[in-house]
Amino acid sequence: MSSRSERRPSRVQLVPGEPASAEFGPGHPAQLSRSRVRKLVITSGRNGVGKSNLAANLAVAFAQRGARVVLVDGDLADANLDLLLGAHPRWDLGHVLTGAKTVDEVAVRGPEGVTLVPAASSAPELAELDDYRRELLLRSLSFADTAADLMIVDTATGMNRHTLELCRSAHDLLVVVTPETASCSDAYGLVKTLQKEDALVRAPRLVVNMAASEDESQEAADRMRLFARHFLRLEVDVLGTVPYDAAVPRAVRAQEPVTLAWPDAPAAIAYRAIAARLWKPVPSGPGSDVVSEQSHRLEA
């Protein structure tokens, strides 16, 4: 992937909220011999909440803002990011696990220059990996980001050991919920498990998806914040809301991210707003008010 065209010659600067060494030092087991690029992991407590759509559209939105993005389908047994991006991979992470291919060889180019590392579809044997294969896969991903500014990982729904380790390796963890009470309950259970397993480096960030109104979104966000604060002693930041939008399922059927298929749709605008909140310009020069369009940072 080092042969990708350099559309953005200026260096992209990642500025974490705290020094990376304090969070993921060389002795930290979650980062040993693994990726050093900033990793955004997206997860959820149940199916149907729009987690993969968020991952795909955020990847495109980041790329449109100048980031070199690697998007990893971490749902090894039931992948769908290739369909959402309209990509047609010949190989996938299943071939990496067997040793037939490298991560570099299975990666494909998606829209806006996003690099997709695809997983397999309808492969239940990959749902649970043994410790050796799981560690092999996590370390292999470090070879996918040598020219990247940001890695986005879409996990499987719910909690298994593979998902837990992906969440543990995250610099930033996004949890997707819908306003339904059951969705919030499942998301709370997922965060509780991650905390119990000591897999949270910092409090996760919440995205409320498919909200019919501002009030509905606010109610779901307040519910999650209250549960996390009262029972887990966590202060959960609400990163943003994506409204219910009929353009999203239309884009899925067209196998194109809604940010590209219908860029003025409410959901597309919301996805770009979340990306803008995470990926912001860095001023150029000492004391300068001038902003370089090609220098950005990932907000912690």
CATH number of the domain enclosing 148: 3.40.50.300
Number of C-alpha atoms within 13 angstroms, CB side, residue 125? 6
Mean pLDDT of 188-216: 94
Q: What are 44's strand-pairing partners?
A: 176
Q: Are 44 and 190 in contact (CB under 8 A)?
A: yes
Token digits of residue 192: 């509780």
Please say if the pLDDT value at position 213 is more than 70. Answer: yes
Number of domains making up the chain: 1
CB atoms under 10 Å from CB of 297, counted, come to: 18
Q: Are 153 and 72 in contact (CB under 8 A)?
A: yes
Q: How confident is the model at residue 16 (pLDDT cuts 50, 70, 90)?
A: very low
Mean pLDDT of 134-159: 84
256 within some domain: yes
Token digits of residue 127: 């749902």
Please say if the pLDDT value at position 24 is more than 50. Answer: no
Q: Where in the sequence is the domain holding 104, given as residue range(s)?
A: 42-279
pTM of the model: 0.82
28 within some domain: no
102 within some domain: yes
**DSSP labels, 123-168:** -GGGSS--HHHHHHHHHHGGGG-TT-SEEEEEEPSS--HHHHHHHH
CA distance 2 to 234: 40
2 within some domain: no
Reported as a single tens digit per residue, the pLDDT across 49-78 is: 999 999 999 999 999 999 999 999 999 888
122 within some domain: yes
Q: Are 164 and 197 in contact (CB under 8 A)?
A: yes
